[in-house]
Amino acid sequence: MTTHDSDQQVWFITGSSRGFGRALVESALEAGHRVVATARTPEQLAEFVERYGDRVATVALDVTDASAARAAVAEAVAHFGRIDVVVNNAGYANVAPIETGDDADFRRQFETNFWGVYNVTKAAIPQLRAQGGGLVVQFSSVGGRVGGSPGIASYQAAKFAVDGFTRVLAVETAPFGIRTMVVEPSGFATDWAGSSMEVHDIPAEYEATIGAMNARMRQTGSRPAGDPKRAAEIIVQAAARENVPSHLLVGVNAVEMSLAYSTKQLAEAEAWEQVSRSADFDQPYPVPQPADAV
């Protein structure tokens, strides 16, 4: 665990003005840590400065700007001397079919949801390496593990990319004492599916898939089951461990969807095992394919 002489950590959190980011800022401060809270409009974070004084610093940051990410990390180090936990939380999703969705909007989402993570992580690595380690926490989604949510292809593609990026980051930087943890929430009572999300035109052909999904996310009148405060406390507690989980599921749906997906994925791999092996030169070939169930 990378800390100071005590158990106090310095946290660097993106997207701190709302949702999980805001909950994490508060939970980290309540746990006695120091926090660099970043947002496009840091004035929205003034209440934390009023309540926690010099244990919190607010920094303006647009994560899609690589130079701004480097500057924010430098400002954090100048303020607190180090960074122990980097949290890439900033992100959003808009709803549209792949077929008819706006290309520019798809790319803009990816700029924040993947390239923002890339920019901040890359900016932080030299500092974490120089100080002998730290923890990088990447916010993904249960959709970044199981996929298949109609209407949010850009968001889920980015989350899959974040996971792949982080797996490589983990093995490249482990010798420097840098650890990683990918957080995979299910539905939580944040603004993710509220005013943060734009719903573009949904053609009638996609009403049964994207329309139904949109209704479940936004129009049911009931809030998601997940409590951001509880999740934030769990993440803060996990970050204090010597051995953090590589992937942390949060929420009942995240657990149940992931277990069902992994079970199905393993069963499919086993069913096709002999066929898959037969592609190598030294393996028996041909071999019969599994029965094609009707």
User: Model confidence over 83-114: pLDDT tens digits?
Assistant: 999 999 999 999 999 999 999 999 999 999 99
Assess whether 167 and 184 both reside in one domain. yes
The catalytic residues are 140, 155, 159
Out of 68-82, 108-122, 221-235, 250-264, pick the least confident.
221-235
Q: Which CATH number is 200's domain given? A: 3.40.50.720
In a domain, 282, yes or no: yes
Decide if pLDDT at 1 tops 50: no
In a domain, 283, yes or no: yes
**Same structural domain, 23 and 70:** yes
13: which strand partners?
A: 37, 87
**What does the alpha-carbon distance between residue 37 and residue 26 come to, in Å, rounded to a whole number?**
10
Residues 6+ apart with CB under 8 A from 191: 18, 19
Distance CA 268, CA 257 (A): 17
Band (pLDDT 50/70/90 cuts) for residue 7 is confident
User: Cα(63)–Cα(48) distance, rounded to whole angstroms?
Assistant: 21
Please report whether residue 175 resides in a domain: yes
What's the number of domains the chain is made of? 2
pLDDT at 222 over 90: no
Q: How confident is the model at residue 189 (pLDDT cuts 50, 70, 90)?
A: confident
Amino acid at 267: A
Q: What is the mean pLDDT of residues 122-139?
A: 98
The answer to whether residues 103 and 222 belong to one domain is yes
Quickly list H helices, the chain.
Answer: 19-30, 46-52, 66-80, 103-110, 116-131, 143-146, 153-173, 212-218, 228-239, 252-271, 273-277
- How far apart CA 71 and CA 49 sit, in angstroms, is 21
**273: domain range?**
254-294
Burial tier of 67 (Cβ tally within 10 Å: 0-12, 13-18, 19+): exposed
pLDDT at 221: 53
Query: C-alpha distances in angstroms, 188 versus 113, 136, 170, 249, 253?
Result: 18, 22, 27, 12, 10
| Among 140, 170, 168, residue whose Cα is nearest residue 156 | 140
How do the residues of the chain divide into helix, strand and coil, expressed in percent and rounded to 5? 50, 15, 35
Shared domain check, 192 and 266: no
The model's pTM is 0.93
Q: What is the pLDDT of residue 200?
A: 84
Residue 3 inside a domain? The answer is no
